Chain A
């Protein structure tokens, strides 16, 4: 991990880095499937997915409690539950931290959810520990997008 860059694994097992998404504003959602506020946060992230172009904003929901036993299949079950029970497609990138909790220790040591907004160059523009409303996230996104 260099600077703000970090590495995560997608549910398909592919390795990605934050730097892969440079050029778009990135919303990093450090979450856990066992965390109820994290599930509530999904509704706010869905609004971002609906109201911002994927060319401008990338959403990354990373399960940072892998070291506590959370797995890709648990994350997939959660995505399926949103789809089947709420008819809501969580159509953004989901991934997992490593077993050592590298992302958790660096970006979410105080708990989950922890949210970050990175500008297009990967600099941290905003961070918040705990659930956050769409309105706050949207105004922050508008500000960082207007900065280029």
Chain B
């Protein structure tokens, strides 16, 4: 019986110790997925980087953005170790304006610096590579009603609408007579 009580006490003790260890391990910062807005940026455009970081010991969250040209193989580090702004909760944000005109892609890395200077990088050490779109978007992801690319399309629609409306009115008058 005493053995059973000891075993029970041991199990209870272990059940308290394990969560404590797990909490200590979980205190290391955890970086979420980095999102870009716009998702498909163009060269010389503005990009907003958002990332969620969870952890107890977060001093700063930094981002490293590199602009490169695939063909020539030239890279410039316009934004190195820029501190991301703490927006609230676990969200950190950086607004980056690309400034290397020949760039065809960017690579970015986000890492967390804790209070003793250690860093936790994203799993991808070489950075995440994002090809830049060739469109002329200024980087704003909001819907721009710039038409559908067919000049005069709206005019044709307007004329058709006027004709249909006119026809309906004329037909209606004939019926009433």
Contacts and interface: CB of A to CB of B under 8 A. Distances in A.
A34 interface: yes
13 contacts: A34-B107, A34-B109, A35-B66, A35-B77, A36-B126, A36-B127, A41-B73, A65-B77, A111-B100, A130-B69, A130-B73, A131-B72, A132-B73
A23 interface: no
- 7 nearest A-B residue pairs (beta carbon): A131-B73, A37-B73, A68-B80, A130-B72, A130-B74, A35-B75, A111-B74
Nearest to B69: A130
A101 to B, nearest CB: 11
Interface of B: 64, 66, 68-69, 72-77, 80-81, 100, 107, 109, 126-127, 129
The listed residue with most A CB atoms (<10 A of its CB), out of B68, B72, B77, is B77
B72 A32 contact: no
Interface in A59-84: 65, 68-69
B11 to A, nearest CB: 43
A111 B66 CA distance: 10
Given A35-B68, A36-B126, A110 B74 contact: yes
Given A34-B127, A37-B74, 13 more contacts: A32-B77, A34-B77, A34-B107, A35-B66, A35-B75, A36-B68, A36-B75, A39-B126, A65-B80, A69-B64, A110-B76, A112-B75, A130-B73
A131 B72 CA distance: 6
Contacts of A41: 73
**A interface, over-half SS:** loop
A47 interface: no
Interface string A25-50: 00000001011111111000000000
A113 interface: yes
Contacts of B107: 34, 36
B80 A37 contact: no
A40 B129 CA distance: 15
A37 B68 contact: yes
B68 to A, nearest CB: 6
A115 to B, nearest CB: 10
B66 A34 contact: yes
B128 to A, nearest CB: 11
B143 to A, nearest CB: 34
Contacts of A130: 69, 72-74
Interface string A109-138: 011110000000000000001111000000
A111 B75 CA distance: 5
